Structure 1
Amino acid sequence: MTKPWTLARQFLVLQLVLVSLLVGAGAAVAYHYAGSATDDKARQAVVAVAETVADSPSVTAALATPDPSRDLQPYAEQVRADTAVDFITIMDTHGIRYTHPDPERIGEPFIGNIDQALAGHAFTETYTGTLGPSVRAVVPVFDEDGDVVALVAAGITVEAIAAEFNERLLPLAAVAAAVLVVGVAGSYLVSARLGRQTRGVAPAELRSMFEYYEAILHSVKEGLVLVGGDGRVVLCNDAARDLLGLPADVHDTPVADLGLTDELAAAFTSPDARSDELHLTETRLLLVNSMPVRSRDRRMGNAVTLRDHTELQNLTGELDTVRGFADTLHAQAHESANRLHAVISLIELGHVDRAVALATDELETAQELTDRVVGAVAEPVLAALLLGKLSEASERGVDLVLTADTAMQDSGEGVDPRDLITILGNLIDNAMDAAVEHAAERAPTVTVTVRSDAGELFVRVADSGPGVADGADIFRRGWSTKPSENGRGLGLALVGQAVRRYGGGIEVANGIAPEDGGPSDGGAVFTVRLPISSSR
């Protein structure tokens, strides 16, 4: 099987054909122009010579003598020699020659047309006479009264014109050959460069590779963005546009104009490699990897990959909640075992009444707490979350208080249970951390209000911590009041993202009045309002 021509070879052949055609066409036009110019030059020359001779006073004077040829023949030959025409023939009005390059032809009739000249008009023609084909001009000779008394014919043979034309062909051929050589050399150089850039791949292979890579690029679930060294988007696949919420055509758009967060835009254009960074957009949590791309010693830009971490983060949040439940159950089991040992010991010591009182008191307390939460919150996921947080708060020495107006029906109207875990779980965790961190100043307390009415989910979490500093961008990924640790600074950012996804609002204040269920000198107060009557 014959190997298909490479793109470089096809391009070379095409260039050679085009150059040859262009040079050939140019040479043909130049050839035609040179021939036409030579013929025009010859006609202008013979007209000028013939008119000059016809206007000469010596010609008119010689025509008045009995033997005009005696004076006109030497004169005509002298002019012919000076002007390089091939013949000058002076004749009477009947076409009988007075002069001729061959003296033996004097007295013979002129071979050619003279009618227009007899009518007083000069003209040119190509005609075959005694000297062969020639370009000639015939002009009238006028006397003082304006009558035609004789005719003058001057001509240049076609052979002489051809000789002059051939002299012009040599430089024309040289120029055409030089242009052809330059064109071929240029085509070869361009073809060689193209061959290096395409690595000798045939067009069919290039098309197949492009279609294959294009299909893969737009079918992969992972987002891919190529950013040039000038900070402009070179390529963006469908998954990346979907993850970033970009329009269909962002090619050559500066990264700064894509509407990304400052941190994400910095990762796109960073000269250093970025690995597995979490970045929060308006609706998604993205895992971003950015790798600088270099060609030899030149930095070409960055290859950025994006993976949707939103679902994974939600599942991680649920897993953390379940782990918290498990830890709480483990702690409660340990505590229950201690109390059980105490009850058994009391029975063995004969204090049955005290043993019964101790057992029933613990059961009544746990049941009362459970009944209160389940009675106020019909949403099972939220109820489970609150029970777990109550147990966790008890372990950490935090007084977690549910306000009396806490009441919520099933959230099937529009709020995903996972988003409830994200919002309320992170707010309570941050509140307990703040309360415990400042337990030396005041008793750690967290107050929670959750209610749904009038198509709105109302969530308020207040703590006894120090509050939030003015101007703090607390919903930015990475913001935290704690020492820098892995995983810090993401909880409130996820809360803000979930609230924005529902078109809700979140307010942050310091301190809450006692009548609203919080401590009089309370710390941070987070209030969330979500419209739950509209579908997501």
Structure 2
Amino acid sequence: MSVARQLFLLQLAVLTLVIAAGTLLAVLDQRRDSDDSTRRAVTAVATALALSDGTVAALRTPDPSAILQPQTERIRTATGTDFIVVMAPDRTRFTHTSPELIGGTFSGNIERALAGETFTETYAGSLGPSIRAVAPIYDGGRIVGLVSVGVTREKIGDQVAKSLPTIFAVAAIGLVVSAAGSFLLSRRLRRQTLGMAPDELRRMYEHHAAVLHSIGEGLVVLGRTDGDDATAEVVNDEARRLLDLPDGPVPVSALPPSLRTATAPAPSDTGEPRDEIHLTTDRVLLVSREPVEWEGQRIGTVLTLRDRTEMQSVMGELDSVRGFAESLRSQAHESANRLHTIITMVELGRYDDAIAFATDDLRLSQELIDRLMTAVHEPALAALLLGKVGVAAERGVDLIVTEDTALGPVTPLTARELVTLVGNLVDNAIDAARGSAEQTTDGPWVEVTVCEEDSSMVVRVADSGPGIPAEVFDKAVTRGYSTKSGQRGLGLALVVQVVTRHGGTIRTEPSLGSMIVVEIPIAGAPS
């Protein structure tokens, strides 16, 4: 039985018990009120008769019954009482509802009345149990008689019975309204608990907690509430590690900006995205989104996060190695062409031309190597730039490393970060320049500068391409971007990761073509 049904039945039982007890108390209260009302009524009638001059005058006559009996019967009928007995102090009745009992002895307590007190009592007399009042009759300070006025219990019971239908109707209405409220509450609870039984909820919670702490993927569960003020309902340990989230409740505003948009429902025509790439400051995450629905309504969203940082790093290194290998292959191919040219010149007897051709080519290559190895302290960066020159030349792009390129030993970046930063910017620039080769009259070109300016390391990469629009640039630095159809490049986003990690800035600037400028402060450098 579900929690909702158990709660409904329990509430119904409690409400029935409470309303039944309330009804019983109402009946008892009605009876008590009827008794109190009867006591007041009979006391008033007895007191009025005892204080009446006609009553005192009748008691002075030789036959008080002849005068008092008709009067008391009229009063009894008018007041709705069951009996009015006027008696002598020795209990001899002068009046009674049953005339045959006149002259008999009154049964009941009169001691307090003989002492001058008007009192009420419940007593079983000649007409059955009744509530009666007894009052003394004075004649000049002397008690000359007593008056007893009463109403039988049977009549009081009839009066109470007349009010019972109203009491029971109110109780029934209360029970129906309470049952309807309990039913609506149980329906709401059933929706919230998905119609599960307590044991099912307990097992689900235990399994839920165990799975959340054991799975190797990050998991974030969001409820129906939208906006940055909403709070994630579930965040497992792996998600906290991947997103650097603290313990305790996690508001949506604490999630990375690119993930906040993933909490909104996707358009119906596109469906929920799967395996989207999202970048945080230090990680590359693969994010999938699944809606949580119950009875056709969306009740939340589940985000699964998979860490692809190490894989991306390995792929980046693989791309670098592949680039170096491609550079060596192109250099070998170019060297073979030049060697064949020199051999042919020698065979033709043009020795001077062969020597001039070989030494001129060697001089240009050696000048670039010597300049970079001297000006750039990090050998990995120098090797990268030399390799990119060859790759660009093979792709028909003129890559120029400017004369002011120089980088000392003090740099905030590791060799791997330098290769990631400069390599991705140069690769993007080469691709952009090649794509715009038909629109340029001077041929595609890329210009690279790496230097130190004002206590910062500055990297400028310009190309002859059309540049990146501002809105595309904002998207590229968080989610990846590629000019190639059907692909999503992470180069610029990985660059931004490095820049953000070291507190730098990245921006685009207009030039002869397009330019991206990165500035990263150098800690400890003179200002």
TM band (smaller chain)? 0.7 to 0.9
Structure 1 residues 367 and 289, CA gap change in structure 2 (3 angstroms): same
Amino acid at match of 2:120: T
Structure 2 match to 1:270: 266
In 2: Cα distance, 1:507 partner to 1:12 partner: 63
In 2: Cα distance, 1:6 partner to 1:268 partner: 32
The answer to whether structure 1 residue 14 and structure 2 residue 4 are counterparts is no
Structure 1 match to 2:460: 461
Q: What is the CA deviation profile of residues 184-236 of structure 1, one whole-angstrom value per residue up to 9, with x for unaligned ones?
A: 79878987997898687542232111221233245542333435386666634
Q: Given the alignment, which residue of 410, 421, 424 partners 1:426?
A: 424
TM-score by length of 2: 0.78
CA contact (8 A) 1:314 1:418 kept: no
Structure 1 residues 270 and 67, CA gap change in structure 2 (3 angstroms): same
Structure 2 match to 1:486: 486
In 2: Cα distance, 1:296 partner to 1:7 partner: 18
Structure 1 unaligned spans of 5+: 512-521
Q: What is the CA deviation profile of residues 289-309 of structure 1, one whole-angstrom value per residue up to 9, with x for unaligned ones?
A: 334555565455644434344
Task: Provide the secondary structure at the position in 2 that maps to 1:382.
Answer: helix
Structure 1 match to 2:387: 388
Structure 2 match to 1:503: 503
Q: CA deviation at 1:250?
A: 6.3
In 2: Cα distance, 1:477 partner to 1:159 partner: 92
Q: What is the CA deviation profile of residues 465-517 of structure 1, one whole-angstrom value per residue up to 9, with x for unaligned ones?
A: 37868x83564124999966334675434433421221123354335xxxxxx
Structure 1 match to 2:120: 124
In 2: Cα distance, 1:67 partner to 1:118 partner: 22
CA contact (8 A) 1:112 1:127 kept: yes
The answer to whether structure 1 residue 216 and structure 2 residue 214 are counterparts is no
Q: CA deviation at 1:117?
A: 4.1
Q: Given the alignment, which residue of 138, 156, 162 partners 2:151?
A: 156
CA contact (8 A) 2:132 2:148 kept: yes
Structure 1 residues 267 and 373, CA gap change in structure 2 (3 angstroms): farther
In 1: Cα distance, 2:194 partner to 2:463 partner: 69
In 1: Cα distance, 2:364 partner to 2:241 partner: 51
Q: CA RMSD in A?
A: 4.4
Structure 2 match to 1:58: 54
In 1: Cα distance, 2:509 partner to 2:359 partner: 42
Amino acid at match of 1:138: V
Q: Given the alignment, which residue of 503, 513, 533 partners 2:523?
A: 533
Structure 1 residues 331 and 187, CA gap change in structure 2 (3 angstroms): same
CA contact (8 A) 2:218 2:242 kept: no
Amino acid at match of 1:377: V
Structure 1 residues 87 and 481, CA gap change in structure 2 (3 angstroms): closer
In 2: Cα distance, 1:483 partner to 1:387 partner: 25
In 2: Cα distance, 1:346 partner to 1:382 partner: 37
Structure 1 match to 2:67: 71
Structure 1 residues 13 and 296, CA gap change in structure 2 (3 angstroms): closer
In 1: Cα distance, 2:278 partner to 2:328 partner: 34
Correspondence list, 1:328-343, <5 A: 328-342=327-341
Structure 1 match to 2:450: 450
CA contact (8 A) 1:100 1:106 kept: yes
Amino acid at match of 1:449: T
CA contact (8 A) 1:135 1:155 kept: yes
Q: What is the CA deviation profile of residues 240-263 of structure 1, one whole-angstrom value per residue up to 9, with x for unaligned ones?
A: 566556676668x7x6x6676489
In 1: Cα distance, 2:328 partner to 2:353 partner: 26
In 2: Cα distance, 1:263 partner to 1:175 partner: 57
In 2: Cα distance, 1:81 partner to 1:464 partner: 120
Q: CA deviation at 1:71?
A: 1.0
Structure 1 residues 196 and 288, CA gap change in structure 2 (3 angstroms): closer
Structure 2 match to 1:203: 198
Structure 1 residues 241 and 393, CA gap change in structure 2 (3 angstroms): same
Structure 2 match to 1:86: 82
% identity of equivalent residues:
45
Q: Given the alignment, which residue of 26, 29, 37 partners 2:25?
A: 29
Q: What is the CA deviation profile of residues 363-422 of structure 1, one whole-angstrom value per residue up to 9, with x for unaligned ones?
A: 5654554443333333343233222222223333414224345023275xx424343233
In 2: Cα distance, 1:377 partner to 1:431 partner: 21
Q: CA deviation at 1:43?
A: 1.3
Structure 1 residues 73 and 179, CA gap change in structure 2 (3 angstroms): same
In 2: Cα distance, 1:222 partner to 1:358 partner: 61
Deviates more, 1:55-64 or 1:166-175: 166-175
Q: CA deviation at 1:458?
A: 0.9
Structure 1 residues 23 and 316, CA gap change in structure 2 (3 angstroms): same
Q: What is the CA deviation profile of residues 145-191 of structure 1, one whole-angstrom value per residue up to 9, with x for unaligned ones?
A: 67755431111233443454456556656765786688779878987
Q: CA deviation at 1:264?
A: 5.5
Q: CA deviation at 1:57?
A: 4.4
In 1: Cα distance, 2:366 partner to 2:508 partner: 34
Structure 2 match to 1:519: none
In 1: Cα distance, 2:485 partner to 2:358 partner: 43
In 2: Cα distance, 1:198 partner to 1:448 partner: 62
Task: Provide the secondary structure at the position in 2 that maps to 1:477.
Answer: helix
Structure 1 residues 475 and 310, CA gap change in structure 2 (3 angstroms): farther
Structure 1 residues 30 and 381, CA gap change in structure 2 (3 angstroms): farther
In 1: Cα distance, 2:331 partner to 2:493 partner: 32
Structure 2 match to 1:41: 37
Task: Provide the secondary structure at the position in 2 that maps to 1:154.
Answer: strand
TM-score by length of 1: 0.77
Deviates more, 1:134-143 or 1:103-112: 103-112
In 1: Cα distance, 2:205 partner to 2:58 partner: 91
CA contact (8 A) 2:220 2:232 kept: no
Structure 2 unaligned spans of 5+: none
In 2: Cα distance, 1:44 partner to 1:191 partner: 50
Q: CA deviation at 1:443?
A: 6.3
In 1: Cα distance, 2:362 partner to 2:345 partner: 17
Amino acid at match of 2:93: R
In 2: Cα distance, 1:292 partner to 1:199 partner: 16
Structure 1 residues 420 and 141, CA gap change in structure 2 (3 angstroms): farther
Amino acid at match of 1:154: V
